[in-house]
Amino acid sequence: MNALLLYPKFPDTFWSFKHALKFIRKRASLPPLGLLTVAAMLPGPWAKRLVDVNVRKFREKDLAWADLVFVSGMIAQRDSARELIARCRAAGKTIVAGGPLFTVEHEQFPEVDHFVLNEAEETLPEFLRDLERGGARRVYASASFPDLRQTPGPLWELADLARYATMSLQFSRGCPFDCEFCNITSMFGHRPRTKTTAQVIAELDSLARLGWRGSVFFVDDNFIGNKRALKEDLLPALIEWQKGKRGVPFFTEASINLADDEELMRLMVEAGFNQVFIGIETPEEASLTECNKRQNRGRDLVADVKRIQRAGLEVQGGFILGFDHDTPGVFERQIEFIQKSGIVTAMVGLLQAMPGTKLHQRLHRQGRLLGDTSGDNVDGTTNFLSRMNPETLRRGYRSLVEYIYSPGPYYQRIRTFLREYRPPRMSSSLNWRSIMAFVHANFRLGVLGRERFHYWGLLLWTFVRRPSQLSLAVTLSIYGYHFRKVSRACSR
Ligand code: B12
Ligand code: SF4
């Protein structure tokens, strides 16, 4: 049996990093971890091939080779998924689909033969058994959550690692919190389920064996969901694993209560973490209450962010506009917060109601849903009737995004951040890609770009005040170039 694993194209948005990837000559930021994990669960004797259309062409000969096509994807990849499925259908292939897109909207894909939904650890074995017997059903779904200690390591060897900027690894699924707009808890539950430390180390070792020396993204929904497991087990093991190596930088996602735990931050930094994405959402207490983001309420969020930065972790932040309690003054207050906190990578989106969330249910009850979500909350669209005048919301959103990524405020944020940041001591390798990126940045941003004065000003300032952070300053400048490009596209 020849199994083709097919990953659809991402639109050119905030997280695609498309315009930044050119500087380091990479095609995509991350490989499709879900498909590589599914590949490891398919029968050993099957031949397997990965086609991630974000990094390579889907050729006729790939299609001709395949007996079975396994498609994955998120809602944001819907359009590309449709195209790929149509091509496979036209070639008469049997199509099996799974992953977050199909788990929430499989009814919209009549051309697919089999849906293997939810977490494959639960649903795939039954599908494979039925397939072998010649009687596979159309839909396999499960309401229970698997034990991740049974999850096999991804088949990295199917991916061309050199085409990606970063690798990914998952330690846990699920989150103890219950934010109204988030579909994580409906998909993965409230109790964080974790892999064993031995599994994580084995995955890191296999990446190292394949020659990977770059950064690794721990794609957990909330990495600090089980603090005890981290402090007593995983982080000490990661500290040990890093010894004698050049230093593999890690980054992850966590909730703001990370700021309350000095020991946890210290251990994370010692283990190699240097970045963390945090859902800040809004500085407005009423909106935090509305969306049940209780962990963010009643705190000085700017002080929390700075505490995390001082511990050695760059904070990237998610922000949302369009809550029922948002008034037109919210745009100014969000800008003020973002500038003061020095969150350089601030992902600001419009609230969207994802299927399966409590928000979706509430808006449905209130008769305010307008249609499907685009799945990408930073594309300037929403799918429900907002309390704020929709035109005011759209305009306020666009001008906020344009403002925070315009060169003046953006470069000012980098300085605010670098003033606070206490970088971890980690020896990183200077390779030809980073040298090329520096040369490319000097030309594109320092000569051609309208940000050229800000760029050289930042480099000079960093050289004098934070010389060890010069490469970080260049990296953040390159990110800014990407964010400006995509924010201009979403402002149209
Ligand atoms: C890493 C990640 C990313 C990476 C993706 C990299 C990549 N190449 O895959 C990046 C950072 C680029 C990203 C971006 C975005 N993401 Co994202 N992302 C994640 C995250 C945190 C982890 C995904 C992962 O790797 N999981 C580990 C693997 C092992 O799990 P998995 O993929 O779910 O696969 C399992 C099952 O789903 C299933 N399965 C998966 N595929 C298949 C295929 C078949 C055939 C079968 C049988 C089974 C199967 O089996 C696997 C094992 O159980 C998830 C959250 C989560 N917990 O899943 C969000 C998540 C997938 N992202 C989400 C969103 C919304 C986005 C963005 C739109 C955010 C934004 N506003 O910009 C963007 C879209 C990108 C773009 N450019 O437009 C949503 C998707 C919702 C949905 N229903 O589609 C999620 C679920 C987060 C959330 N809170 O809702 N993301
Ligand atoms: S803390 Fe993050 S992952 Fe957890 S429920 Fe809230 S938004 Fe979702």
- What digits encode the pLDDT tens for the residues 193-219? 999 999 999 999 999 999 999 999 999
Contacts of 94 (CB under 8 A, 6+ apart): 67, 68, 69, 113, 114
Give the closest ligand to the alpha carbon of residue 113. Answer: 1
The string of pLDDT tens digits covering residues 220-261 is 999 999 999 999 999 999 999 999 888 899 999 999 999 999
Q: Is the CB of 277 under 6 A from ligand 2?
A: no
Contact 350, 380 (CB under 8 A): yes
The string of pLDDT tens digits covering residues 112-143 is 999 999 999 999 999 999 999 999 999 999 99
| pLDDT of 3 higher than 80 | yes
Q: What separation in Å is there between the alpha carbon of 336 and the centre of ligand 1?
A: 31
Span 169-175, mean pLDDT? 96
Q: In the numeric block, which tokens belong to residue 36?
A: 């590589």
Contact 259, 313 (CB under 8 A): no
Probe target for ligand 1 pocket from 219, 222, 354, with the most ligand atoms within 8 Å of CB = 219
Instruction: Say how far apart CA 370 and CA 357 lie, in whole Å.
Output: 16
Q: How confident is the model at residue 330 (pLDDT cuts 50, 70, 90)?
A: very high
What's residue 169's pLDDT? 98
Q: H-helix or E-strand containing 95?
A: strand 94-97
What's residue 383's pLDDT? 95
| pLDDT of 479 higher than 80 | yes
Q: Which atom of ligand 2 is nearest to the CA of 176?
A: 4
Instruction: Say how far apart CA 170 and CA 219 lie, in whole Å.
Output: 5
What's residue 379's pLDDT? 85
Q: How many CB atoms lie within 10 A of CB 272?
A: 21
The string of pLDDT tens digits covering residues 391-440 is 999 999 999 999 999 999 999 999 999 999 998 776 566 677 788 888 99
Residue closest via CA to ligand 1's atom 90 equals 183
Give the closest ligand to the alpha carbon of residue 377. Answer: 1
What's residue 490's pLDDT? 60
Q: How confident is the model at residue 186 (pLDDT cuts 50, 70, 90)?
A: confident
Span 357-374, mean pLDDT? 95
Nearest to 325 by CA among 279, 388, 262: 388
Q: What separation in Å is there between the alpha carbon of 316 and the centre of ligand 1?
A: 18
* Sign of the dihedral defined by the CA atoms of residues 322, 325, 331, 337, in that order: negative
Q: In the numeric block, which tokens belong to residue 364?
A: 């449905």
Q: How confident is the model at residue 452 (pLDDT cuts 50, 70, 90)?
A: very high
Contact 223, 252 (CB under 8 A): yes
DSSP notation for 154-221: P-GGGS-GGGBS-EEE--EE--S---TT--HHHHH-SS-EE--HHHHHHHHHHHHHTT--S-EEE--S
Radius of gyration of the chain (CA): 22
Q: Is the CB of 185 under 6 A from ligand 2?
A: yes
Q: Parallel, antiparallel, or unpaired: how do β-strands 216-218 and 114-116 relate?
A: unpaired
- Per the confidence metrics, is the pTM higher than 0.85? yes
| Highest mean pLDDT pick, 104-108, 332-336, 487-491 | 332-336
Q: How many CB atoms lie within 10 A of CB 109?
A: 17
| pLDDT of 266 higher than 60 | yes
Phi, psi of 140 (to 5 degrees): -120, 120
Contact 322, 359 (CB under 8 A): no
| pLDDT of 488 higher than 80 | no
| pLDDT of 165 higher than 70 | yes
DSSP 8-state assignment for residue 46 = S
Span 264-271, mean pLDDT? 97
Give the closest ligand to the alpha carbon of residue 257. Answer: 2
Residue closest via CA to ligand 1's atom 62 equals 74
Residue closest via CA to ligand 1's atom 15 equals 15
Span 4-32, mean pLDDT? 92
Q: Which atom of ligand 1 is nearest to the CA of 75?
A: 84
Q: What separation in Å is there between the alpha carbon of 293 and the centre of ligand 2?
A: 8
Q: Which residue has the higher pLDDT, 427 or 95?
A: 95
Instruction: Say how far apart CA 103 and CA 70 lie, in whole Å.
Output: 14
Span 377-403, mean pLDDT? 94
What's residue 375's pLDDT? 82
Q: How confident is the model at residue 489 (pLDDT cuts 50, 70, 90)?
A: low
What's residue 491's pLDDT? 55
Helix, coil or strand: residue 3: strand
What's residue 420's pLDDT? 96
What's residue 258's pLDDT? 98
